[in-house]
Structure 1
Amino acid sequence: MTELGKRLKEAREAKDYSLDDLQRVTKIQKRYLIGIEEGNYDIMPGKFYVRAFIKQYCEAVGLQPEVIFEEYKGEIPTTYEDEIPVSLSRVQTRKGVSGSSSKALDVIPKLLIAVFVIAVLIALWVFVQNKVADNASNADTANKEPVAVDQQDLPEEEPAEEEDKDQKESGAETESDEKKETKEPEESADQSLKAVKTEGTKTTFELKNTDQFKLGLAAKGDAWVAVYNSKDEVLFQGMLYDGDKKDFDLGSDQQAYLVIGNAANTDINVNGKLLQYKIPTDTVRQDIIIQYQPAESQQ
């Protein structure tokens, strides 16, 4: 057990928390809590989550995460980007540019010149085709002679046709007015999903004016997610990767509890409508509670 693990375990025991109690408070799996106390970070989903889980552990047992990170920065792993020296990344970049890259740079100007020449040829061809088409159109117009029409030869329009036309127009207007009078306005009520309470990193939403409760999760990057129903039963718990989706039908339940390990990489959809996080997504973990009130129970 590391010095950090001893410190965290002592704080947990001072709170009279068992590992099971701490799991219920933090929503972090028990095996990860044991790994933190024993300093076994290899079982974690990634170094990013090691820091996030330690931060959540500290907050649950009353320790200041910033102080712990500073005191035990030698034990807590950093993220991948922090571990790459700047000088090493620059050396690797220079090596990658040399050799084949210089050859590619020599070929690019030739390709650009070839593309330019092809574009000019195409433009000339289009111009010539349009010119030929315009000349042919003008020749057809010149060959056509205007036909003189004697006004005396035109048949006179009978008054009966005008009366029939007026009657049809008035009938159409009457029918249109009748449709407007008999048409009843359609009433539709959109679902209501709004935040009603925020405590720390936990936000409670209320879902109303709907007879269904369908929940969808979509990952835009790596994210650890857990979903519980109103009976605290685990519906899903684990990692989601870029492009992964999870759907849940909670129509028979009245609450969903979500633990989002990386809010910036996780979209939450309720009945096809995107849920807007109340807390900015730069907060690593967020707990989302959705309380569902079926439309029947509101009447």
Structure 2
Amino acid sequence: MSEKQNKEIGKRLQDARMDQGLTIDYIQEKTKIQKRYLMAIEAGQMNDLPGDYYVQSFVSQYANVVGLDSHQLLAGELQETTGDGQRRNPTPIGPLPSRTTQHKQVVKESEFSRRYGKYAAYVPTVVVIVIVVLVLGTIWGMSHSGNTAQPHLTSSKVSVTNDASSSKKKESSSSESSNSSSKEKAQKITQVGTSTTEYDLKNAPSDGSSLSITAGTSNAWVSVSSDGTQSWAATLPTGTSHTVKIAKGISKVSISLGNAPQTTVKVNGKSFNFNPQNDTTQTKTITLNIKD
């Protein structure tokens, strides 16, 4: 983009922020982008950012917070005025909190992050250990149950035929029950109408879901929000993965991708094709509605 375009983008973002009474610190808290980069964007000094990839990613994140269309903004197609010459106000995401409320929220989130953020790195390890213990306990329990259930032949009246028939019936019943349970719990992801960025997730695990995000042949910036609250954001190096746990009761998950064509996502261990059209859009935000 030219210097003129950079300054135009920065001015539109700054105007949208000031029209809504938002501070640069509030934008930093919501996007997790350093304040000096946000100020450089508003000044149109895109060369101060790490590279073109981060310019598109940071501008997209900023635009989402102040209610601007990032794709039109980056393409230079966002209109300044309406048909009658009046200045168009950006479409807000929702009712904006007062500055006092914003300050309290920032203080609360910062305090929570200071107290408990250091434990977040251990969550995946703890989850894996718990799963392993449960699997080993189940195997031991089945083995122990099989040993104690051995019949003792104390009478010649034991009917082998009846026992075999009963065993077959139990196995058949168990198999049918297992198949029925498997069908009931099979998750399904479907596109919402004609949207290419919104999907419904049905039959999700009752104890919460998980997202596994992997960078391909180049770095990928990713941000995950649950019911409007950002739960994780980072740049994944080439070929690395990260798993985000979605808590029970969450109804909407937003996945913002800064390098969408080079990023893959799995939902509860199954591949999620969020780009069926195979478009080359770099920045993309995917919405996943979790249904019962």
* TM superposition score normalised by structure 2: 0.50
Task: Please give the alpha-carbon distance, in whole angstroms, between the structure 2 residues aligned to 1:198 and 1:260.
Answer: 22
Equivalent in the alignment of 2:9: 8
1:249 aligns with 2:249: no
Shift of 1:38: 2.4
In structure 2, the CA distance between the partners of 1:44 and 1:225, relative to structure 1 (3 Å rule), is: farther
Equivalent in the alignment of 1:36: 41
| Cα shift readout 1:73-129 (whole Å, capped 9, x = no counterpart) | xxxxxxxxxxxxxxxxxxxxxxxxxxxxxxxxxxxxxxxxxxxxxxxxxxxxxxxxx
Q: Is the 8 A contact 1:259 1:287 kept in 2?
A: yes
Equivalent in the alignment of 2:288: 290
* Alignment-mate amino acid for residue 239 of structure 2: G
Task: Please give the alpha-carbon distance, in whole angstroms, between the structure 2 residues aligned to 1:60 and 1:28.
Answer: 19
Shift of 1:49: 3.3
1:262 aligns with 2:271: no
Once structures 1 and 2 are overlaid, which stretch shifts more, 211-220 or 3-12? 3-12
Residue aligned with 2:55, SS: helix
Matches within 5 A, 1:130-209: 179-182=167-170, 183-184=172-173, 185-186=176-177, 187=180, 188=182, 189-197=184-192, 202-209=197-204
Residue aligned with 2:185, SS: coil
In structure 2, the CA distance between the partners of 1:227 and 1:283, relative to structure 1 (3 Å rule), is: same
User: Which structure has the greater CA radius of gyration?
Assistant: 1
1:239 aligns with 2:235: yes
Once structures 1 and 2 are overlaid, which stretch shifts more, 174-183 or 207-216? 174-183
Residue aligned with 1:36, SS: helix
Shift of 1:285: 1.6
- Structure 2 residue runs of 5 or longer lacking an equivalent are 78-158
Shift of 1:217: 1.5
Q: Is the 8 A contact 1:20 1:30 kept in 2?
A: no
Task: Please give the alpha-carbon distance, in whole angstroms, between the structure 2 residues aligned to 1:243 and 1:21.
Answer: 33
Task: Please give the alpha-carbon distance, in whole angstroms, between the structure 2 residues aligned to 1:198 and 1:19.
Answer: 37
Q: Is the 8 A contact 2:204 2:290 kept in 1?
A: no
Give RMSD over aligned pairs.
3.9
In structure 2, the CA distance between the partners of 1:9 and 1:19, relative to structure 1 (3 Å rule), is: farther
1:277 aligns with 2:274: yes
State the percentage of identical aligned residues. 19
Residue aligned with 2:235, SS: strand
In structure 2, the CA distance between the partners of 1:176 and 1:215, relative to structure 1 (3 Å rule), is: same
Task: Please give the alpha-carbon distance, in whole angstroms, between the structure 2 residues aligned to 1:240 and 1:30.
Answer: 18
Q: Is the 8 A contact 1:22 1:60 kept in 2?
A: no
In structure 2, the CA distance between the partners of 1:285 and 1:23, relative to structure 1 (3 Å rule), is: farther
